Homo-oligomer: A and B are copies of this chain.
Amino acid sequence: MSFHVIHQDGQARVGRLTTAHRVIETPFFMPAATRATGKFITTDDYKNIGINSLISNALILSLKPGVEIVRQSGGLHKFMNFSGIIFTDCGGFQMSRTMFEKKSKNALHFRNPYNNQEVILTPKKIMEIELALDSDVAMMLDDMSSYGSSFEEAKEAMENTHRWGKESLDYHQKLRIERDSKQLLFGIIQGNFYPELREKSAQFISSLDFDGIAIGGVAIGEPKEKMYEAIDSALPFIPINKPRYVMGVGSPKEIIEMIGKGIDCFDSVYPAKMARHNHLFTKQGPIAIDKSQYATDFSPLEKNCKCPTCRQYTKAYLYHLTKIDEPSGKRLKTIHNLHFIKELIEEAKKAIKEKRFSEFQEEFEKNYQGKKKII
């Protein structure tokens, strides 16, 4: 068994996920290393701020540098020199106008942006790719319908997802044995924002022998209530002894809310994207570092923050780097936001262990005057 719940406080929980060569405490957040690197930051930056989990995109990596090069280098951990947990996914690209072409019953069709050739991604092919990349956790190929899809469209995507899930799992189990791999495989629940489809999908995906269960197809532009409705419809059907992963979430507030619902795992480009757009997290909510009030503010972003940015630079300096549009400033800002999320989850875990999660959540929300998403 690769996952154990160790502490429970209401629905919130602290667990331990064991992969082939690594162990990680849950809940955890995975910043993106889509192309085997962060944007403006590298894996050594991730390590320096204590991040021990990343998510890379298997489809993108299979196009560049190519699976064979990652394999030759000794796998994705060695390729990008990261010793923490790595998830690989291939998702979200149905939303890419530049890459997505069409879907069929058995595959997604993409256009390779590097050479303009067609890429046909099948459930089996993505299993081959993810196993060759040698990530700790592979995600199955899913079919995601966009926000606003009709019931019929949503149902069709869900049914594709279910069929592909079964096919992925069978093939992955076969490959795992053949190649003596201990890679884990997570299933993905779809169903758009139709509660009955979410229920059905959660039941089906949970009935299969996946190592963990993800809720996909949320945080794609829907109102927050819709997102929670979709998640709440699925959650009761996910076995409590499997790690639960909500894909594409999120903001500090959402992460704490999700932890309160018993979610164990998150990924999102949101904290890094916010940082690049000058919205920096603090315990009192995000601040817009490009506002002129910070030009002469010679204190750090957050008083007791231990991140390399706050330990070394003032708001006035970050304001300056922002105003001259210097890439190194984007790095410093990204480091702060990712460290903030990491520390926030550390505090949440501590609160769960001490059975005071709801007080922690209340206190956090009272202080965090978070505005709505600005991006």
Contact = CB atoms under 8 A, between A and B. Distances in A.
A328 interface: yes
A35 B72 contact: no
B40 A73 contact: no
A151 interface: no
A316 B79 contact: yes
A333 to B, nearest CB: 11
A327 B326 contact: no
| 10 A-B pairs with least C-beta separation | A65-B320, A42-B328, A327-B327, A81-B312, A40-B327, A73-B298, A35-B324, A37-B326, A37-B328, A44-B312
Interface in A102-149: none
A69 B332 contact: no
Given A64-B323, A327-B330, A331-B331, A69 B316 contact: yes
Bin chain A's interface residue count. 35 or more
Interface of A: 35-45, 64-65, 69, 72-74, 79-81, 295-296, 298, 308, 312-314, 316-317, 319-321, 323-324, 326-332
Contact of A327 (B39, B65, B314, B324): B39
Given A64-B324, A69-B320, 13 more contacts: A35-B324, A36-B317, A42-B313, A42-B332, A44-B308, A64-B323, A69-B316, A72-B296, A72-B298, A73-B298, A79-B320, A81-B313, A327-B330
13 contacts: A37-B328, A39-B327, A39-B328, A44-B308, A65-B319, A65-B320, A69-B295, A69-B296, A73-B298, A73-B316, A74-B298, A79-B314, A79-B317
Contacts of A79: 314, 316-317, 320
A81 to B, nearest CB: 5
Chain B CB count within 10 A is highest, among A41, A312, A316, A327, for A327
Contacts of A80: 317
Contacts of A324: 35, 37, 64
Nearest to A308: B44
A296 B369 CA distance: 49
A80 B312 CA distance: 9
B36 A320 contact: yes
A330 B41 CA distance: 11
A319 B39 CA distance: 16
Chain B CB count within 10 A is highest, among A38, A41, A317, for A317
A81 B332 CA distance: 13
Nearest to A36: B320
A38 B324 CA distance: 12
A339 to B, nearest CB: 14
Contacts of A314: 73, 79
Nearest to A319: B65
B39 A295 contact: no
A42 B295 contact: no
Contacts of A69: 295-296, 316, 320
B295 A326 contact: no
B320 A64 contact: yes
A47 to B, nearest CB: 9
A78 to B, nearest CB: 8
Contacts of A327: 39-40, 327, 330-331
B326 A35 contact: yes
B326 A39 contact: yes
A213 to B, nearest CB: 32
A76 to B, nearest CB: 11
A40 to B, nearest CB: 5
